Amino acid sequence: MERHSWIIVGAGQAGLAVAYTLRRAGIADVVLLDAEQGPGGAWRHTWPSLVLFSPREASTLPGMFFPPTKDLYPTRDEALSYLASYEQRYGFDIRRPVNVVSVAPINDGFRLETSEGAFEADHVVGCTGTWSEPVLPNIDGIDSYTGRILHSGHYGGPGDDQNESQRGFQNHRVIVVGGGNSGAQIFADLDAVAHVTWCVREPPTFLPDDVDGRVLFDAASLKRKAIESGSATTPTSTLGDIVMVPSLRALRDRGRLHHTMMFERFTATGVIWSDGTEEHVDDVIFATGFRPALRPFAPCLTITEDGRIPLRNSAVVNCPGLYLVGYGNWTGYASATLIGVGMAAKTIVSDLDTSRS
């Protein structure tokens, strides 16, 4: 059985940032177990027209700048290429595809059961992200709806009706649900090929054209610092506000960037709106977020009554040697972003230094 000092579960952006940080700290025995067929993590499952909402300067992992891009905002394919180049540059020991089924504490570390046999490790870092755990809202009638339901995590683009394996959306009546950046970009992606309606529960906040993810990240950082210092003045923009990427600006300029408040319930063939009107709908795409993919770590985790996993930065308090990185602000500020995950990764080394002192 293989045993290593550190095993990182997941080799997307979080796993790579952690591997880099551990190497910089002089830790050599690090293995990454990744369920994907190739580099890129969750980016491999995004739709072709997706663009990041930060320029490349604000979309960079530690140790390697994002290379020049064709346009201001990097595309999905450029992000995939960057992550593949990052792997190649540092030559991390990445095993794939390896599906980690469970991680359990043992007397002297952890035992990992995987699709490729068992491993043991002194320390484990969970970097499994959220893509494999999409959240679908519980809406009346959803079980009786006979049309197609997708989550944004499985949306592959407008598609091609000639390809039965990925039935497209040409001339379909489609509803996109979700008031964030993903919902807005999917709505724009389908506008030219489908009769598409964008549904939200709260009116979306559109940022000025000259404001993007860099500004949001800086504003959110100031807000966090203000809260920590007890200041009453905090910025109002958040990382959930919608960045006006080129596809959305084009839609707005054509007078087609419209949203509708959420429908009431499903019927067998469509939806009922708040005014009682019924409409036939072929497809509903939910851009309604994800939950952390933590099932493999269940044997290690203690969840409090209010649903939290107690952490000290990224360290799991009740399971020494286990760390969680990249799942959102609760595992390190902005740790689910390319620019923020490096800071979260550094807290692992800080925790080690504290433990040794």
Task: Report d(CA 195, CA 260) in Å as an integer.
Answer: 14
Token pair of 147, please? Answer: 């049309």
Could you say which residues of the chain have pLDDT below 70? 160-167, 213-240, 353-357
State residue 217's pLDDT score.
Answer: 61
State residue 325's pLDDT score.
Answer: 97
CA distances from 63 to 23, 60, 91 (A): 11, 8, 13
Which residue, among 266, 14, 261, 260, has the nearest Cα to 136 in the 3D structure? Answer: 266
Domains, the chain, in order of start with CATH, read 2-132+290-356 (3.50.50.60), 142-206+242-286 (3.50.50.60)
Task: Report d(CA 251, CA 204) in Å as an integer.
Answer: 15
Residue whose token pair is 């490096």: 342
Residue 106: which H helix or E strand, with range? Answer: strand 100-106
State residue 307's pLDDT score.
Answer: 84
State residue 111's pLDDT score.
Answer: 98
> Between β-strands 311-312 and 315-316, what pairing exists: parallel, antiparallel or unpaired?
antiparallel
Task: Report d(CA 355, CA 357) in Å as an integer.
Answer: 6
State residue 163's pLDDT score.
Answer: 44
State residue 335's pLDDT score.
Answer: 87
Secondary structure of residue 121 in the 3-state scheme: strand
Q: How many CB atoms lie within 10 A of CB 262?
A: 18
State residue 306's pLDDT score.
Answer: 83
State residue 256's pLDDT score.
Answer: 95
- What are the pLDDT digits (tens) for 15-29? 999 999 999 999 999
Token pair of 5, please? Answer: 């000092």
